[in-house]
């Protein structure tokens, strides 16, 4: 960690570098997901999920689905479906080891976000999993979340980044294609365009399998 030079080791030293938060900011941490917070989650098609393993290593995973794919059970509980992924099961395994969880919900075009912190478990209860039967094929498992804290994040991060402004986006083809990285570091005997085609076919197959039965 020496590369980071002078580091802060105490909370008092940290606070000395920043002004105190306003009374409004201190008070806007809530313990229930109701009203407009619930409406926001029900509009959200995407969230980031942070979990921690038994050794304290933290993982952040993107999760997406139709708006409201994270079901609000009531003002203290959420259900997050485990849809098709890479099968490493990092998030689910972490929840088994350490139930703390954090979620950040986004709504496209909106600069403000909602953060939910809570305690989690992995459930395979068929009655609970059936709540997705209408718009997604039933997942194998879900993360059940007991809400501890709900927090509304302001718009500054998204406005600094120009996240939703097309003129701030990288031009098509500028972002790195990680297929070249896989080929180089993993020694794959496959050219990047072939690997990209295989990945895209896999995406299409997995997403098609998530559609509810009879939706085609």
Report yes or no: 77 and 86 within 8 Å, Cβ to Cβ: no
Listed by start position, the domains of the chain span: 22-161, 170-209
Where helices occur in the chain by DSSP H, the ranges are: 11-15, 23-27, 35-43, 90-97, 126-129, 156-161, 178-186, 192-209
The counts of H helices and E strands in the chain are 8, 8
Report yes or no: 102 and 49 within 8 Å, Cβ to Cβ: yes
pLDDT on residue 1: 81
pLDDT on residue 214: 60
Distance CA 138, CA 141 (A): 9
**DSSP-derived 3-state class of residue 103:** strand
Place of tokens 């000395």: 16
Per-residue pLDDT of the chain (216 residues; tens, 9 = 90+): 889 999 999 999 999 999 999 999 999 999 999 999 999 999 999 999 999 999 999 999 999 999 999 999 999 999 999 998 889 999 999 999 999 999 999 999 999 999 999 999 999 999 999 999 998 989 999 999 999 999 999 999 999 999 999 999 999 889 998 998 988 899 888 888 999 999 999 999 999 998 886 655
pLDDT on residue 190: 86
Phi/psi at 11 (5° precision):
-65, -35
What kind of architecture, by CATH, is found in domain 22-161?
Answer: Roll (2.30)
pLDDT on residue 213: 67
Tell me the pTM.
Answer: 0.94
End-to-end alpha-carbon separation of the chain, Å?
A: 54
Report yes or no: 97 and 51 within 8 Å, Cβ to Cβ: no
3-state secondary structure 135-176: CCCCCCCEEEEEEEEEEEECCHHHHHHCCCCHHHCCCCCCCC
Distance CA 69, CA 47 (A): 10
């Amino acid at each position: 960690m020496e590369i980071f030079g002078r580091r802060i080791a105490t909370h008092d030293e940290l606070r000395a570098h920043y002004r105190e938060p306003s009374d409004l900011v201190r008070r806007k941490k809530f313990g229930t997901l109701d009203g407009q917070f619930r409406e926001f989650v029900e509009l959200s098609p995407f969230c980031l999920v942070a979990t921690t393993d038994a050794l304290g290593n933290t993982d952040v995973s993107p999760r997406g689905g139709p708006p409201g794919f994270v079901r609000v059970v009531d003002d203290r509980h959420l259900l997050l479906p485990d849809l098709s992924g890479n099968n490493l099961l990092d998030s689910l395994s972490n929840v088994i080891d350490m139930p703390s969880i954090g979620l950040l919900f986004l709504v496209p075009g909106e600069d403000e976000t909602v953060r939910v912190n809570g305690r989690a478990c992995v459930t395979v209860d068929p009655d609970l999993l059936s709540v997705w039967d209408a718009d997604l094929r039933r997942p194998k498992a879900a993360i059940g979340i007991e809400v501890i804290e709900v927090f509304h994040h302001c718009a500054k991060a998204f406005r600094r980044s120009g996240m939703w402004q097309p003129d701030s986006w990288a031009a098509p083809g500028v972002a790195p294609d990680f297929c070249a990285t896989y080929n180089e570091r993993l020694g794959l005997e496959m050219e990047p365009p072939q690997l990209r085609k295989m990945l895209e076919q896999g995406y299409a197959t997995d997403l098609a399998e998530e559609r509810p039965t009879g939706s085609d």
